[in-house]
């Protein structure tokens, strides 16, 4: 019997219209599409080097934020939740993501009046922690029987906090109060790097943005294996490392 598990990372190509993306808490600046696409390629190569099979969702060149597939779904062990993004401009992204995810999981769709961005969902053990934000409302929290989390001054909960091992969150304490996670240890980002809390954990590896070297050093000093990738052009679209993939174990 073959018990080998396959880890799939679902991604989508960067839209040539990425410079028209939604922005909420950061100022618009020019985005170099070719550079963003090259950085996205490097991100995919890093995921592949760590054992992920890269599976592409159909490109959506007319949807500026479509590279950020994390917001369209939440992948759990036994089901994939298909979201209803809070930004009207992003609602059209979900069906093509669902088309891919249905190969791997039964689907559950969040229903109106709920709005939910996957970037607001932190899965800790078996529980969903959902940040209530300008994109995600309490109806989504209720439909998913989740734990509501309050945060401020950033787009998504996972801009403010991500899990880096079974017991530990990396977070920006100015944006989210660690006391909302009483069962976890918390490591604070370097105060000079407020956006540094968005890390992508794959087992014992932490994928981390090259933009936050102080926080990276902090993690390394704590013994984490950190793999760095430059996503600075994508970060201009108010995105982080987790936003660019959906990881499913199969």
Contact string 46-85 vs ligand GLY (x = CB under 6 A): -------------------x--x-----------------
Sheet holding 185-188, edge to edge: 161-165, 168-171, 185-188
Tokens of 54: 């890269």
Q: Please enumerate, as own/partner, the contacts of 213-218 that have beta carbons within 8 Å and a separation of 24 or more.
A: 214/190, 215/170, 215/189, 215/190, 218/187, 218/189, 218/190
CB of 106 to ligand GLY, least distance (A): 26
Q: Is 93 in the site for ligand GLY (CB under 6 A)?
A: no
244 belongs to the catalytic site: no
Q: Is 20 in the site for ligand GLY (CB under 6 A)?
A: no
Q: Which residue from 101, 72, 97, 100 is spatially nearest to 85, judged by alpha carbons?
A: 72
Nearer Cβ to ligand GLY, position 23 or 38? 23
Q: Is 237 in the site for ligand GLY (CB under 6 A)?
A: yes
225-229 vs 246-249, strand pairing mode: unpaired
Nearer Cβ to ligand GLY, position 19 or 38? 19
Q: Is 22 in the site for ligand GLY (CB under 6 A)?
A: yes
Q: Which residue from 90, 85, 183, 102 is spatially nearest to 137, judged by alpha carbons?
A: 85
Nearer Cβ to ligand GLY, position 65 or 233? 65
Contact string 155-194 vs ligand GLY (x = CB under 6 A): x---------------------------------------
243 belongs to the catalytic site: yes
Tokens of 123: 């899965």
Q: Is 248 in the site for ligand GLY (CB under 6 A)?
A: no
What does the binding site for ligand GLY look like in residue numbers (CB under 6 A)? 21-22, 24, 65, 68, 87, 155, 237-239
């Amino acid at each position: 019997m073959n018990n080998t598990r396959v880890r799939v990372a679902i991604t989508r190509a960067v839209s040539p219209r990425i410079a028209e993306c939604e922005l909420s808490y950061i100022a618009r600046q020019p985005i170099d599409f070719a550079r963003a696409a090259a950085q996205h390629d490097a991100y995919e190569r890093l995921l592949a080097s760590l054992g992920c099979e890269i599976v592409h969702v159909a490109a959506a060149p007319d949807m500026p934020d479509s590279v950020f597939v994390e917001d369209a779904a939440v992948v759990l062990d036994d089901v994939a939740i298909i979201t209803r993004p809070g930004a009207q401009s992003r609602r059209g992204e979900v069906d093509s993501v669902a088309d891919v995810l249905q190969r791997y999981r039964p689907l559950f769709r969040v229903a109106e009046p709920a709005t939910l961005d996957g970037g607001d969902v932190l899965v800790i053990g078996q529980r969903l922690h959902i940040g209530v934000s300008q994109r995600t409302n309490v109806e989504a929290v209720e439909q998913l029987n989740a734990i509501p989390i309050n945060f401020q001054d950033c787009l998504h909960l996972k801009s403010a906090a991500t899990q880096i091992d079974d017991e530990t969150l990396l977070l920006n304490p100015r944006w989210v109060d660690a006391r909302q996670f009483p069962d976890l240890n918390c490591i604070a980002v370097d105060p000079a790097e407020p956006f540094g809390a968005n890390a992508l954990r794959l087992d014992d590896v932490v994928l981390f943005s090259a933009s936050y070297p102080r926080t990276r050093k902090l993690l390394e000093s704590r013994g984490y294996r950190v793999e760095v990738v430059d996503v600075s052009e994508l970060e201009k679209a108010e995105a982080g490392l987790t936003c660019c993939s959906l990881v499913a174990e199969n």
